[in-house]
Structure 1
């Protein structure tokens, strides 16, 4: 008998308003390597899926859906993992080279973050697995440990 268990994340899918524009951007900025194209009933390619170097088995997909893309603008649906502060600094430098506007390297709740936006305004966050060890409890907008209720 198998156990009903989640074993990981298969892929992340972003809604986009213009597939060609977003595909080019994700290829240039994140190194997306497209392996699959998805046609609608009318024969027009409205989605792509592939991989991003460093993300292991996790896939990345883009699906043309302008209404959903507008709804995601300004929101960060996923944070991609990076190693540490040095990686955050390297990404900030890479984004500068590409002319992509981004946040400074931020001391987040547990590690370091660099944030930027795709062509539809969806926020992409690169969050370090390494922790900085600072207690951010009490800072507005930062997480805090869950409080256990007694009684």
Structure 2
């Protein structure tokens, strides 16, 4: 039995801002927005099958800045097919004005990383 991740849901400071950012970066998605008890959730699904949810809770805990040093999520990794595709994403990030690092050449693959409105790293990655 193959196990794959079906969706990823992130806690964010502003669900609308985050949903807009992810759609500006990844393209328009099918969107379902719902009000939960004490939270707003927006679920985005792209034609590729990628599903990302963003949840804004009414009650906030502690710091509102993401840090990979905290227990939990370190980053989101989106697979690319080639170094050329990484370069295309890097150019798109630049064109959109999204803060991002240089293309990294690691022993196991190439990557370029941007940060969403809550500072969560979003990495475009291609294995070698």
The 1-side partners of 2:79 and 2:8 are apart by 13
The 1-side partners of 2:109 and 2:63 are apart by 28
Helix, strand or coil for the counterpart of 1:46? strand
Helix, strand or coil for the counterpart of 2:92? helix
Distance change in 2, residues 1:59/1:6 (3 Å): same
Q: Which consecutive residues of structure 1, in runs of 5 or more, have no partner in the other structure?
A: 132-151
| Offset of residue 68 of structure 1 | 8.4
Please state which structure has a larger fraction of its residues in strand: 2
Q: Which residue in 2 is equivalent to 1:115?
A: 113
Q: Which residue in 2 is equivalent to 1:21?
A: 17
The 2-side partners of 1:122 and 1:97 are apart by 20
| Offset of residue 78 of structure 1 | 2.2
Cα deviation digits, residues 23-62 of structure 1 (max 9, x gap): 11111112251432121247xx711112235xx3331111
Q: Verify: 1:85 aligned to 2:78, yes or no.
A: no
Helix, strand or coil for the counterpart of 2:64? helix
More displaced 10-residue stretch of structure 1: 117-126 or 21-30: 21-30
Normalised TM-score (structure 2) = 0.81
Normalised TM-score (structure 1) = 0.70
Which of these two proteins has the greater Rg computed from alpha carbons?
A: 1
The 1-side partners of 2:63 and 2:80 are apart by 25
Aligned length: 121
1:1-150 equivalences under 5 Å are 7-41=3-37, 46-53=40-47, 56-65=48-57, 66-67=60-61, 70=64, 73-75=66-68, 76-129=74-127, 131=128
- Please give the root-mean-square deviation of Cα atoms over the aligned residues, in Å: 2.3
Distance change in 2, residues 1:118/1:88 (3 Å): same
Helix, strand or coil for the counterpart of 1:94? helix
Helix, strand or coil for the counterpart of 1:23? helix
